[in-house]
Structure 1
């Protein structure tokens, strides 16, 4: 019985680490090869320097998303929704039907300040001709563009898309307020199949964009008030496919927590950071962990846990915003949280209460499978604080992910499971 349990545990750990290494580790293959070479020539300290540079790059890389369209199409509502904010939340973009913006307006992500959404006035809603519009809006600074329409895409929208393409940037057509269209049909007493109606709207958008000269256009149908409906997941997949490695990771971590699918995507991205932070801990500032003869850099562990908590939407402000959007008391969401890592300051005492000191018994399993992690397995062996930090952060991420899953289920039910 005990042997079977041990084998199962080893298999689970191995699968988890294989999951990490089979996905991007935020290093390219060339960078991993260089990492090995750096270790051969400069030892562990040189590797730590390279890893620290990568962590700094991840923390400091900016992602700038431009949202443009005519007044009243729902730009502000979409910007708020993609940041997980409601109309009355702090930092929310003002929603209205009057075009008040004559220049780009920046809205920072509430948990990731290097992620910014920019509200741009529609190309036909300013006094600027098209050739000056691109310069005034500083198009070269944005990573991609979302062009929104509430009914049909105009000649100005297609002209804008062509100029964006000329600059080598990606753009995505979003047809907003789809729920309003469907509600109008229902109120009119018309009998219709919702899926067929959505496909009709989608095909009409694509057909008109093709006629306007946009090659292979894609149009995504969105409800700004319920991102779980219609094509928001398809839009995310398109963006994730098109964005370069680090920006893709940042975009995923910035997504609002609205489904179990998104929680899982975030878990995979955060898992990539665990081994990097563990590498940085490697024996510096080691603080003994009860039940383990080794220590770790508690500052790195606590900083990692706080970052995980924010990205998974488990900080207090994110839970408040989620509760408002779901129409549930925030107490109902907090009631399903099962980890002491949520709701207060992260201290050594909090970590000790989780009884992770008992991880000493399972560290040998990680030692056996460390060679799955590129390069690092050959650098740190048994007796390293790398192992303790890795185990602590891995278990913290698992705990927080489980609570995030429960929060999403409490907020939206089970319908939003990964598809």
Structure 2
């Protein structure tokens, strides 16, 4: 009795969080009265909702603070890459400008005009930039945070949105200190800079602010990872998922976070292939929808940075030859995914030996139990699970090659 209860609790805790309990109950009810065919429209609507979920992140602060460079870093781009935000020492942003993520266009970073520019005074700033559009704000400064920054933060908080303080170009300051002093303690100097920023904001009426010290050119150093974790933790479920999937592939940890999200999505793709329009794949004893299957694998490739464009962008950022990064990927996972490749790799061939119950309890808790008996569901689920495992392992190898991680 106790074992059954704990299994149920574990399953409940792993239920994909982008479905509400009300939606889960409706799925079960519809399945009981009409089978998979009645459930598929609900799943299709959910996929459409997930694909249309927008995440809008605003960067603001004084002119020349490094907002554009930070936007590029958050999207995994160099200034020379196609679609990169314009970078300059003078005011380059005169209107709010949205920059979509290269693979997930519903995730947008907005470069807002500097609060110190002549066209935007602090008093009219939030009205002119259409404040309600953005999910949260990052206030960027290359030196001390100023009165405009504090005023803006108080208004953002008053209107019910979150904001974060980023002290940019920390590498420039630390390098200057290092050249000037015989003895230099980087950690101690960073704490002095952080304390100065916190003290200044406190005097301006911002109690206990958290300040992130970053360099957009060194995303694996200083507080950059802490910033990304803070943004991730404060987002709601669906937007949190979008944010993580849009993160640049810069560490094995990020690859594994993406894997966990994509793994929880697999049952949705499998359900769609569970009935209408099943097309046999030569060499398999079961059937699934080829379009759904290949579309899902291509999505996995892009989210894990294994498509050709992502590999070229990573090569530009790290200075590694793109051929060296591609050498870390199994050849059949590069380029176009076709039915022939799926057959040749053998994804899903062992599905007959996998029980529906095992799959339902493995990665498809609660909801999986109502679909687990369908052969097309099982086939698609197994193929996508094996494909994601292969792609994740290859993405980890790419990260190690790009950043020389042992």
Q: 1:208 aligns with which of 200, 206, 211?
A: 200
Q: Which residue of 2 aligns with 1:260?
A: 252
Contact 1:66 1:120 in 2 (8 A): yes
Which residue among 130, 133, 136 is the counterpart of 1:138? 130
Tell me the alpha carbon deviations over residues 42-62 of structure 1, each in whole angstroms, 9 at most, x when there is no partner.
432232222211111111111
Q: How does 1:176-325 map to 2 (within 5 A)?
A: 176-325=168-317
1:371 deviation in Å? 4.1
Cα distance change on mapping 1:45 and 1:414 into 2, 3 Å? same
Cα 1:20/1:193, change in 2 over 3 Å: farther
What is aligned with 2:102?
110
- The equivalences for 1:320-359 within 5 A come to 320-338=312-330, 340-342=332-334, 344-359=335-350
What is the TM-score with the length of structure 1 in the denominator? 0.90
Alignment match, 1:405: 396
Pair 326,119 (structure 1): closer, same or farther in 2 beyond 3 Å = same
- Comparing 372-381 with 333-342, greater Cα deviation is found at 372-381
Deviations 1:344-398 (A, max 9, x none): 211101111101253235423x543414534433322435210000011111111
Q: Secondary structure at the match of 1:121?
A: coil
Q: Distance in 1 between matches of 2:44 and 2:369?
A: 18
Post-superposition Cα deviations, 1:102-133, rounded to whole Å, max 9, x if no partner, equal 21012111111111111111222133333322
Hey, what's the Cα distance between the residues in 2 that align with 1:20 and 1:207? 45
The partner residue of 1:28 within 20, 23, 39 is 20
Q: CA RMSD in A?
A: 2.0
Check whether the contact 1:209–1:217 (CA below 8 A) recurs between aligned residues: yes
Task: Tell me which of 21, 38, 55 is aligned to 1:63.
Answer: 55
Secondary structure in 2 matching 1:106? strand
1:74-111 deviations in Å (ceiling 9; x for gaps): 11111111111111111111111000322101211111
CA shift for structure 1 position 291: 4.8
Structure 1 residues 369 and 317, CA, compared in 2 at 3 Å: closer, same or farther? closer
Give the whole-Å Cα distance in 2 for the aligned partners of 1:19 and 1:83.
34
- Equivalent of 2:149 in 131, 148, 157: 157
CA contact 2:274–2:377 (8 Å) conserved in 1: yes
Secondary structure of the residue aligned to 1:214 is: coil
The unaligned stretches of length 5 or more in structure 1 are: 1-14
Q: Which runs of 5+ in 2 are unaligned?
A: 1-6
Give the corresponding residue for 1:394: 385
Are 1:370 and 2:356 an aligned pair? no
1: CA distance, partners of 2:372 / 2:100: 42
| In 2, Cα distance between equivalents of 1:91 and 1:176 | 22
Normalised TM-score (structure 2): 0.93
How many residues are paired up?
A: 397
Task: Give the aligned partner of residue 405 of structure 2.
Answer: 414
Tell me by how many angstroms 1:239 deviates: 1.1
User: What corresponds to 2:4 in structure 1?
Assistant: none
Q: Indicate whether 1:379 and 2:360 are aligned.
A: no
Q: Distance in 2 between matches of 1:370 and 1:99?
A: 55
The farther-off stretch of 317-326 and 369-378 is 369-378
- 1:70-89 to 2 correspondence within 5 Å? 70-89=62-81
